Amino acid sequence: MPEPKNTSDPEAGAPAKDKPAKDKGAPADKPAAEVVKQPPPPPAEAERIPRMALSVGAAALMIGLAMVGSGPSDIGRFVALGALITMIYGVHSFGRLGAPG
């Protein structure tokens, strides 16, 4: 008497009847139009000033610390202090914007 074939094993030759055929295209849960990623939106005008303050403050702080680290420098001390104040302003401004959305 011949042995019955195992129909649940796809490797046995016959495809499984309880599993749907897989499509090699877009994911099954999303249409092809939704798979395309959109570029991120540009930052809002309100975020421009705090971002600039943080960028300038970080660069000035690195310069001020380099000046102070290379030797005693009164100018480097004031540059580093001004940079820290600028960064505090930038962080404060971001906090005042509120939660996104």
| pLDDT tens-digit series, residues 9-65 | 555 555 555 555 555 555 566 565 566 677 666 667 778 888 999 999 999 999 999
Q: Which residues contact 44 (CB under 8 A, 6 or more apart)?
A: none
DSSP 8: T
Helix (H, G, I), strand (E, B) or coil at 46: helix
Residue 86 has pLDDT above 70, yes or no: yes
Q: Which of 44, 48, 27 is nearest to 36 (CA)?
A: 27
> To which H or E segment does residue 69 belong?
helix 45-70
Residue 7 has pLDDT above 60, yes or no: no
Q: Please report, as a single letter, which amino acid is at residue 95.
A: G
- Higher pLDDT: 77 or 99? It is 77
Q: Which two tokens stand for residue 33?
A: 């139009």
Q: Is the whole model's pTM more than 0.75, yes or no?
A: no
pLDDT of residue 4: 59
Please report the pLDDT score of residue 5 as a whole number.
57
